[in-house]
Structure 1
Amino acid sequence: MCARIASPCVGLCSTTLGDSVCRGCQRTDDEISEWMALPAEQRDSRMVELDGLRERVAGRFLRIDDEARLEAQLKRHRIRFRPEQPPLSRAVELLRVGRDRIRDLQCYGLVPLEGAVGLTAAELHERLSARLLEEASRRRRALQACTDSHC
């Protein structure tokens, strides 16, 4: 029996609309098309990088106050997450799925930081998404420059 291949895909691939970086998972169009052919170690490494990106960006806006509450809410709302996925990376997914239903972040074990206080979950998600896309696009440009100059 074949093992299931883990993917950061969240089912919102904007690369099909012409984006060079997916707004849903923050992978480049090349990474998406090559994902299944990558060795497991490379996929695992990239998953760790993507989680790190989400942690860095979400950490500018949120802090985890109660990790158990966050996990319970993810399970309650049937939002997929990986056991090894860091809490702030999970919070990004929670906001993506629940941004129009979440009224009080603290009920989900999250505390907004300065700059996010007073934002609705939808507004917070919008800011997070924009920052994630900026940073993922910056990474893509750096990778492309390295490829072009044969680093």
Structure 2
Amino acid sequence: MTGRIASPCVGLCSTTVGDRVCRGCQRVDDEIRDWPALDGETREGRMAELDALREEAAGRFLRVVDAAALEAQLVRHGIRFRAEQPPLSRAVELLRVGRDRIRDLSRYGLMPHEPLDAATLHAGIADALMAAAEHRRLDLVTLS
């Protein structure tokens, strides 16, 4: 019996509508296709890269002031996360799912650098993530 293959997929694959980079997980379309064939070490490395990308993008807009509160809210709302996933990467998922319902970010252990609402924070982070992911895609094309 094989174990579950860990994946950064969040169930929002925009590559099915023609994007070369997924808006949900920031992977390149070829990478999504080839994911199941990658060995565990390669998948873990790529997930760490995606976490770093999310930390960098989210860190431009907010910081985590209470990681335990963030985790409790993720659990409360049934938002999937990994034990080794850094708090800022987790915050990206929280904002993706709850951006239209979150009113007080401090209750989620988050503090924006500027007084922005959750939807505005999510939009800025999503734009930064897509720009970085597209840059990575172009780097991969150049290397091949």
Q: Same fold (TM over 0.5)?
A: yes
The question of 1:71 aligning with 2:71 is answered yes
- Partner of 1:14 in structure 2? 14
Aligned length: 144
The letter of the residue matching 2:123 is E
Offset at 1:51? 0.3
Mapped to 1, the partners of 2:60 and 2:101 lie a distance apart of 22
The letter of the residue matching 1:79 is I
Mapped to 2, the partners of 1:12 and 1:66 lie a distance apart of 27
Mapped to 2, the partners of 1:72 and 1:131 lie a distance apart of 26
The letter of the residue matching 1:21 is V
Runs of 4+ in 1 over 3 A off after TM superposition: none
Unaligned runs of 5+ in 1: none
Offset at 1:111? 0.5
1:97-145, CA deviations, whole angstroms, 9 ceiling, x for partnerless residues? 00010001111000001xxx23221111111101100000000101110
The letter of the residue matching 2:110 is L
Q: How does 1:75-94 map to 2 (within 5 A)?
A: 75-94=75-94
Offset at 1:25? 0.1
- Among candidates 96, 121, 128, match of residue 131 of structure 1: 128
The letter of the residue matching 1:29 is D
Mapped to 1, the partners of 2:139 and 2:2 lie a distance apart of 35
- Partner of 1:144 in structure 2? 141
- What TM-score does the superposition give when structure 2 sets the normalisation length? 0.98
The letter of the residue matching 2:53 is L
- Partner of 1:95 in structure 2? 95
CA RMSD, Structure 1 to Structure 2 (Å): 0.6
Mapped to 1, the partners of 2:118 and 2:83 lie a distance apart of 24
Q: How does 1:48-59 map to 2 (within 5 A)?
A: 48-59=48-59
SS at match of 1:80: coil
- What TM-score does the superposition give when structure 1 sets the normalisation length? 0.94
